[in-house]
Amino acid sequence: MNSHAFSRLAMSIVAVLLGFTTFAQAGPPLICHPIEIGQAKSLPWVEFNHRGSTDYDLKNLNRDTLAILDSHAPVLVRMETLRRATIYARQDPQVAKELITRLQARAAKSDVARRPDALAWFDVGYLAEAYKQWMGKGEPNPAAGLDGYSLVRNAISLGRIQRWNSQLP
């Protein structure tokens, strides 16, 4: 996906996220509303009963999630994968903490390499907001202190800068 298409899609996502805030009775929008991805590869299907596939081994969650995200998956596949990962991660606070930590490290590594990755920052922001919607009151939330909305907005800006730089002679 080119940077321009990413920017348009990301802005649409932000608008949808803001629009869902009035529909609280329908459940947390980042968790309760599956995103249609067709036959694209993602984590095993997670039913709305908030329990992951009964035969999915949580030890594989971080590796599997990162493999999908690192495969240059489209934004909608990333969102659905992170939605499913959140549902699985809620079953084990250590797995949840490790996933957000690994996504943060992955994004920060791109900055250190002076090649900031807009999609990596998007992933951290989206997962942080999904965790905030899903983790219950009194439960430890590994995304506490992260402003996922700002991270997604920054990823959009970064995508625009990357697109602009790619057009320079």
Whether 49 maps to a domain, the answer reads no
Whether 41 maps to a domain, the answer reads no
- pLDDT tier at 24, thresholds 50, 70, 90: very low
Percentage with pLDDT > 90 across the chain: 46
Whether 63 maps to a domain, the answer reads yes
Whether 45 maps to a domain, the answer reads no
Mean per-residue pLDDT, 163-169: 51
Q: What is the pLDDT of residue 157?
A: 85
Rg (CA), the chain: 16
Tell me if 93 sits within 8 A of 73, measured CB to CB. no
Domains held by the chain: number? 1
Residue 19 has pLDDT above 60, yes or no: no
Percentage with pLDDT > 70 across the chain: 72
- pLDDT tier at 113, thresholds 50, 70, 90: confident
Mean per-residue pLDDT, 12-27: 55
Whether 51 maps to a domain, the answer reads no
Q: Where are the alpha helices (DSSP H) in the chain?
A: 3-20, 29-32, 61-69, 75-89, 93-112, 118-134, 148-166
Instruction: Tell me which of 6-10, 120-124, 135-139 is least confident.
Output: 6-10
Write out the residue range of the structural domain in which residue 159 sits: 3-29+58-166
Whether 53 maps to a domain, the answer reads no
Whether 121 maps to a domain, the answer reads yes
Phi/psi region, residue 164 (left: phi>0; alpha: psi -120 to 50; beta: rest), is: alpha
pTM of the entire predicted model: 0.77
Whether 46 maps to a domain, the answer reads no
Give the tens place of pLDDT for each residue, 54-103.
678 999 999 999 999 999 899 999 999 999 999 899 889 999 999 999 99
